[in-house]
Structure 1
Amino acid sequence: MNKDKVNVWKAALIEAADLAGMVLQNEADGHESKFINKIVKVIEGKLRRNSLSVAPYLIGMDHRVKEINLWLQDGSSDVRILVVYGIGGIGKTTIAHVVYNSNFKRFKGSSFLENIREISEGRNGLVQMQIQLLSDILNGREVTVRSVSEGILKIKDVISCKKALLVLDDVDHMSQFDAILRMRDCFYPGSKIIITTRCAWLFKAEVVKVHNVETFNHDESLELFSWHAFGQDHPIEGYTKLSEKVVSQSGGLPLALKTLGSSLSGQSIAVWESALKKLEVIPNGDIMNKLKISYDSLQDNDDQDLFLHVACFFIEKDKDVTVKILDGCDFYTTVGIQNLIDICLVTIDGHNTLRMHQMIRDMGREIVRLESKEPEKRSRLWDRKDSLNVLREKNG
């Protein structure tokens, strides 16, 4: 018998020891074969929990997950919540996958609910997530839930009986966050909850631990890009300078590095040079669509217009000066900028200066560029060449 099978049988014996209360007469009407099948199914369910699929090339992951792993393994009996937040495409879900795989076996039950934002928008989305959570915690057992309120009651019963690890990925609405907070006291002691989000405002009023995901540094960026572009950890001969340019344009954003690396893989130097020139004018569509989710989630047109103004004109400008100018244009600038900060579209540095990731900036400017092929018909002009051309045409 090989080592893997031995480990499986050991685990099965351990789980079988926990099957207290299973009585032959009660469980299968006295039929031994049915009783044995029942035990087998229960043990199979308890052994069913598997690791999640993780993206390849986990560059710099050890130091990114170290703090979270220590938090998960601190031995506390409190029910604690960790919020992992950052801009879209920065690797929040990948980090959550890695820490889940490293730690879920430390808990009696575990569940990883992915794409909550997207699923909750679908028909019966919340009910479907409740069913998955219950099934996961109950090791694959079939569960029926007819309404959200019924699901909450069943979840409360389940999570109160065993220490659990719960991961909620891509939370974007307060109701999703509140649903967990309301049940916090129902969790078994020592349970842990991880939430990934790009919405910083979700956790402002709550006592939770916060993990802010940072962009890659230059060396990490070049290595990740190279794996996707060349299948190795550094650029091949003749492509080093071009790779450096792509990395510079990506701003340390893993999504951009992966997407651009894969799109340029196997292409000639001439194609690379042309692609880089195009990227200076037209950002990659796949990257923009991912980042635009945050823009689309803004509360109203006022905040969206404010974001576009900042992206086109006010990056690296003093916040107070920006507020004074835009208040004069009938914007509610102070609260609007705070709304942009709360979903990771804008930051303010120690010098009170507005900052924006260059990919977020490019996304905003691309929204304006797509308003019309003719610059004079766009709502904003930030490019000096376009502005001069439009002024010349206006003056005849």
Structure 2
Amino acid sequence: MASSSGWSRQFEELDLSDKSEYVTLPANEADHTTRASGFVSAVEKQIERSKAHWSTLADGSSGACTAEEDGEGDGKAEESNVHEFMQLQRHPTWGGFFRTFYGEDENPFDNGELVMGEKFAEGGQAELFHAKVTWRIPKDNDEDEYVVKVFKKGTFLRDLKSQLPHGFLQIHVEGMENYESPTPKVIPRYSCNVLRGILLKNGQFAFLMDKEDFDLRSLIERKMESRSDRDCGPFSKEDGELMMYDIALGVEWLHNRNIIHRDLKTSNVLVAEYQSGWPKWECFVADYECSIGIVGTGFFRAPEILQACKERMASQRPEVFSRAADVYAYGMTCYEVLTGKLPFGDHPLIDNKPLLTELVINQDLRPEIGEYVEGWARELLKWCWQCDPSARPTIGKILDLLLRNSVYVERQERSLKERYGDDYKYIPMSLYGNGS
């Protein structure tokens, strides 16, 4: 992972001189409440269930760093965020990513109008809301729905910007160059689209993202509940292998842009569901936009990361957050897809996490793989779970292995090549119209 020190210096050099406008939350949404009591109870139940696999932050906590925890009074984070956001808006290269949605034409940073909807999910750092956007440019308006990821009250934008991985904003630059090109390319997508960084009127920072149908963990739980035979995974052979392929493409897409995910798991994979056509589902890797502040989740983490966390040295050992660590987490994610289970979720020692962690680190303990999982897939998981990071496969080798062993993956690759060309896995800047 590249150092973020140079990145931070570029931010600090930005001008603080002008004021800007902010997104307005409807009055009954400003405190992140919802309207329908039945919906609230269902959401709260889902959130409570999801807490078991919330991400862990680099400081060892599971929640946002608040103004009080930072030693500052009420409102300090929100006041600070105003100045930080104005800096980001004026960056000469990626300032266009940080826009407002206040509906005032005289504001040069205003993209249109955003209306917040219901809260539907929550994580350790942020809450997720449905949203509708009316873009300033009429041709951009459609029936698409969006999601706003709002970082919890008291979160400092100055800390969040240091968590942006190298290459994250370059994705936005690539997309805008292609969009503005006289000959734009049809570009494959393997990750969640993070469209803008925005600031709410109350000073909270948020990301505006494309909406998908649900996350993969929710789909797995739904499928497992409907299974009469518990001695099998949640998906058919075809669907499971295609999901593994989609996720691998997403991880490779991030790695090609020097982004280490650091928290790969099915709850961080979004799913589009199709009523007709093939395949039935399409998966997109998500939640990579502030990855430097995350140290992963539970036993999705590679042994070297578990060791660093045990020693409380995770922030001092950035080298453990590597592509190889992502591959380990990819193996655990595929374990979810193939078995429906969380790593060690049914292990007898699951309530004794220190001992279980010791066994993972020092005794190469790994989740038990059901006999119903095909031999080649079992070997893939074991390869990803090697204790030595250098012994794990690259994502490229994983994609090759999937292609060799799955007729469904082979068919999907042919389809992608027909649509996007032989370079469907990674399109360099030279192929983006005026990006050459």
TM over 0.5: no
Q: TM-score, normalised by structure 1?
A: 0.25
Q: Taking structure 2 as the reference length, what is the TM-score of the superposition?
A: 0.23
Q: When you count strand as a share of all residues, which structure comes out higher?
A: 2
Larger helix percent? 1
The structure whose RCO (Cα within 8 Å, separation 6+) is larger is 2
